[in-house]
């Protein structure tokens, strides 16, 4: 049995037919079907019907008789030019003359076909449809170029405003006004994050008349599951979002119904950054049917970059709110910002949680360097340490300066074993193999470190850093160069911190005591002198052994103050002994290196 030949797919075609003869209309439909079109025809016979049909939906083609009872083809052509200017119009008539045909072409008709020459109908329609498609393509290209010119003009105007206006909030508000007025964006907004509260506050906006309180703050979640708005998501993740159609966009959009009711279709939301850290977001929206194209998107990315750059310099009194999260001496993140960055690293997961190792390390004997070489040299050493860390961690989001001589870094782990942690620590130690050149001197810096891992215990970033600090404290106490955090270290750290606080109070409330150990001359058994021994009478635990509290005095930075008290008390006791008639006695007092 022969297989029937495959019938080619018919091209869909919506036709508005201005024709008063039902038989001619059916014949026209038949000829179009024979020409390969899957035709959908609507017939009208007067002006009212034609206007109603055009307002209901735009056809692909209009075919019109020239002479109709109470209506004529030229009137139909005029209506088509007014209601559907992009739709090709062809006269299909048996009464049109040459002069009238020329006049019709001048008025906007694409072609005319005589009913007596039906073979021309399908080729004329195809040519008209091809020309219409080409015109639409050219018009779209012209509109796209014109749109880009407007956006470029907006970008230039905003750049000028950023140079001219010194107040941050005023500059951002002007940015939104210019994007709305010159750029034609029906809505724009810039919001900035308060890292302490994780609330974002709109600084500038335009086109939000349909919202009762566009200035309301909105939360920025820590994890994706907590996102409540598009701007909050962009600030949290630091990733730009182009939403082509809010009606079909899968993720959360705050006030989606209100936006749709206002005719908003596309949204572009881009992060604003300071030192590569998201601190806010820029939002621009367009109305239907306009969609933000790729070229326009790239210009908006440039605008967001310019705003990010300006944020570091505009209105420094306000910018300090952000810059306070960076250590001015080294330019590295402080604790709060480092923990925020750890939060983002924890959130970047595809399946299982990422494995992270946070190392907190301390420059040993920094106080000795400050006292012996001067504070300036100590500061230069910290700057040099930061510079070396940046060579090991090109992405500065992974390092921090926690204050004094304490730094932190985070590494991604591939495996769960101590060997990889040891390798990472050895790589860190190698950064300090070569001495630092400080003001013409070679200064050797030694470090001690503690490390804590995620997701052991699924702890928060702040606790992760604290665990690494607990391991560092234990390493400094035990003399180890590096220790991995154990749960019991937290209790020990809390105990030591409590004891450090009591030691500070001990200096102020006269809880220290001096015990004098005599030095005997063996030849005659006489006392040749005494050695002053410091003891602590703790109201809570009684007499505390020196081996317990002396290391804490050093780690808490109290050794110099305690040494001063010892010398003064020894001198006072010597004076009291002389007043009691005792002979002069040599007193030995131990002095720590920082006091020298």
pLDDT score, position 69:
83
Q: Say if residues 327 and 408 touch (Cβ distance below 8 Å).
A: no
- DSSP reduced 3-state for 299: helix
Residues 520 and 468 in one domain: no
Q: Residues 220, 278: one domain?
A: yes
Task: Judge if 395 and 343 occupy the same domain.
Answer: yes
For residues 180 and 214, give the distance between their C-alpha atoms in angstroms, rounded to a whole number.
15
Domain assignment present for residue 339? The answer is yes
Q: Compute the C-alpha angle 59/61/66, nearest 5°.
A: 120
**Does 145 map to a domain?**
no
Residues 212 and 290 in one domain: yes
User: The tokens of 367 are what?
Assistant: 């106080």
CB 360 within 8 A of CB 406: yes
Shared domain for 186 and 296, answered yes or no, is yes
494, part of any domain: no
- Indicate whether 378 and 306 sit together in one domain: no
Distances (CA, A) of 574 to 518, 565, 579, 583, 590: 14, 14, 9, 10, 16
- Whether 309 maps to a domain, the answer reads yes
pLDDT value for 319: 47
CA distance 227 to 231: 9
360-386 pLDDT, tens digit per residue, is 999 988 888 888 888 878 888 998 999
- Do 415 and 560 belong to one domain? no
CA distances from 295 to 147, 152, 299, 302 (A): 10, 11, 7, 11
Q: For 496-512, what is each residue's pLDDT tens digit?
A: 667 777 888 888 888 88
Specify whether 177 is located in the same domain as 289: yes
Q: Longest Cα pair distance anywhere in the chain, in angstroms?
A: 150
Q: What does residue 366 show for φ and ψ, rounded to 5 degrees?
A: -65, -35
CA proximity to 92, closest of 22, 33, 24: 24
Q: Is residue 83 part of a domain?
A: yes
Cβ contact 78:107 at 8 Å: yes
pLDDT of residue 554: 75
Count up the domains in the chain and report the number.
4
Domain-terminating residue out of 320, 343, 360: 320
- Residue 352's CATH number: 3.30.70.270
- Domain with residue 227: its CATH number is 3.30.450.40
User: Same domain for 579 and 470?
Assistant: no
pLDDT for res 1: 46
Alpha helices, DSSP H only, in 479-593?
A: 487-508, 546-555, 559-579
Domain boundary residue, one of 288, 320, 352: 320
Q: In what order do the strands lie in the sheet with 241-243?
A: 218-219, 199-206, 187-194, 277-287, 264-274, 241-243
Q: Which of 185, 201, 200, 206 is nearest to 300 (CA)?
A: 185
Q: What is the CATH number of the domain that holds 505?
A: 3.20.20.450
pLDDT in single tens digits along all 596 residues of the chain: 454 555 556 688 899 999 988 888 899 899 888 888 988 899 998 989 899 998 888 899 999 888 888 888 899 999 998 888 889 999 988 767 777 888 888 888 888 888 888 888 899 889 989 888 888 888 877 777 777 788 888 888 888 888 788 788 889 999 999 999 998 899 999 999 988 788 999 999 998 877 778 888 999 988 888 889 999 999 998 999 999 888 888 888 888 888 888 889 999 999 998 877 889 999 999 987 778 888 888 889 988 988 988 887 664 545 455 456 778 778 788 888 888 888 888 776 555 677 888 999 999 888 888 888 888 788 889 989 998 998 888 888 899 999 889 999 998 887 666 677 888 888 888 999 999 988 788 898 989 999 988 876 557 888 889 889 888 888 887 788 888 877 555 555 566 667 777 888 888 888 888 888 888 888 888 888 889 888 888 888 788 878 778 877 776 777 888 888 888 898 999 898 888 888 888 888 887 765 65
User: What DSSP character marks residue 522?
Assistant: T
Tell me, yes or no, whether 153 lies in a domain.
no
Both 351 and 462 in one domain: the answer is yes
d(CA 246, CA 266): 6
pLDDT of residue 407: 95
Q: Is residue 235 part of a domain?
A: yes
User: What pLDDT does residue 240 have?
Assistant: 93
Q: What is the CATH number of the domain that holds 64?
A: 3.40.50.2300
Within a domain: 222: yes
pLDDT value at position 219? 92
Report helix, strand or coil for 465: helix
Claim to verify: residue 245 and residue 289 sit in the same structural domain = yes
CA distance 218 to 240: 18
Q: What is the pLDDT of residue 168?
A: 86
Tokens of 105: 């072409």
Structural domain of residue 206, as residue ranges? 165-320
One domain, residues 187 and 294:
yes
Give how far Cα 292 sits from Cα of 247, 264, 286, 297, 517, Å.
15, 12, 7, 6, 85
Sheet of 356-363: strand order equals: 399-403, 406-412, 356-363, 447-454, 482-484
Q: Please report, in angstroms and rounded to a whole number, the separation of the first and last CA atoms in the chain.
A: 111
For residue 242, what are the β-bridge partners? 268
- Of 134, 150, 176, the one marking the end of a domain is 134
Model pLDDT, residue 343:
85
């Amino acid at each position: 049995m022969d297989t029937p030949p495959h019938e080619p797919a018919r091209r869909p075609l919506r036709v508005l037919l201005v024709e008063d003869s039902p038989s001619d209309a059916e014949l026209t439909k038949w000829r179009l079907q024979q020409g390969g079109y899957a035709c959908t025809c609507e017939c009208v016979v007067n002006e009212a019907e034609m206007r109603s049909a055009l307002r209901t939906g735009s056809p692909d083609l209009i075919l019109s008789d020239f002479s109709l009872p109470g209506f004529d083809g030229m009137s139909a052509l005029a209506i088509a030019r007014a209601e559907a200017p992009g739709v090709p119009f062809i006269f299909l008539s048996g009464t049109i003359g040459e002069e009238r045909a020329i006049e019709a072409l001048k008025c906007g008709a694409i072609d005319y076909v005589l009913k007596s020459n039906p073979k021309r109908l399908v080729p004329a329609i195809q040519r008209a449809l091809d020309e219409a498609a080409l015109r639409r393509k050219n018009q779209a290209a012209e509109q796209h170029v014109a749109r880009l010119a407007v956006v470029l003009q907006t970008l230039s105007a905003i750049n000028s405003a950023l140079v001219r206006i010194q107040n941050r909030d005023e500059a951002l508000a002007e940015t939104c006004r210019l994007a709305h007025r010159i750029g034609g964006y029906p809505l724009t907004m810039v919001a900035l994050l308060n890292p302490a509260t994780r609330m974002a506050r709109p600084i500038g906006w335009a086109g939000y008349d349909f919202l009762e309180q566009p200035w309301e703050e909105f939360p920025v979640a820590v994890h994706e599951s907590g996102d409540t708005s598009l701007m909050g998501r962009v600030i949290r993740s630091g990733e730009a979002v182009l939403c082509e159609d809010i009606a079909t966009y899968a993720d959360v959009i705050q006030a989606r119904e209100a936006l749709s009711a206002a005719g908003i279709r596309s949204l572009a939301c881009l992060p604003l950054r300071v030192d590569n850290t998201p601190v806010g977001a820029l939002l621009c929206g367009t109305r239907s049917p306009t969609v933000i194209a790729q070229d326009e998107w790239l210009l908006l990315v440039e605008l967001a970059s310019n705003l990010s750059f300006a944020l570091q310099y505009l209105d420094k009194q306000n910018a300090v709110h952000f810059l306070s999260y960076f250590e001015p001496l080294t330019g590295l993140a402080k604790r709060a910002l480092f923990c925020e960055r750890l939060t983002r690293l924890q959130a970047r997961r595809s399946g299982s949680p990422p494995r992270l190792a946070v190392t907190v390390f301390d420059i040993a004997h920094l106080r000795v360097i400050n006292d012996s070489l001067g504070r300036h040299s100590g500061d230069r050493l910290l700057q040099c340490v930061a510079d070396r860390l940046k060579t090991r961690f090109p992405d500065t989001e992974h390092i921090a300066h926690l204050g004094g001589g304490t730094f932190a870094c985070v590494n991604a782990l591939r495996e769960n074993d101590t060997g990889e942690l040891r390798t990472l620590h050895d790589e860190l130690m190698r950064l300090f193999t070569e001495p630092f050149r400080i003001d013409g001197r070679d200064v050797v810096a030694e470090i001690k470190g503690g490390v804590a891992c995620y997701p052991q215990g699924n702890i928060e970033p702040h606790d992760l850093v604290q665990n690494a600090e607990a391991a560092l404290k234990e390493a400094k106490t035990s003399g180890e160069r590096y220790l991995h955090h154990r749960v019991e270290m937290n209790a020990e750290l809390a105990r030591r911190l409590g004891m450090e606080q009591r030691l500070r109070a001990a200096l102020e409330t006269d809880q220290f005591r001096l015990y004098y150990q005599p030095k005997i001359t063996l030849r005659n058994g006489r006392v040749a002198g005494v050695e002053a021994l410091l003891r602590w009478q703790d109201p809570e635990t009684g007499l505390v052994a020196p081996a317990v509290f002396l290391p804490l005095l050093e780690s808490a930075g109290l050794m110099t103050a305690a040494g001063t008290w010892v010398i003064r008390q020894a001198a006072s006791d010597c004076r009291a002994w002389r007043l009691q008639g005792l002979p002069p006695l040599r007193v030995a007092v131990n002095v720590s290196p920082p006091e020298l």
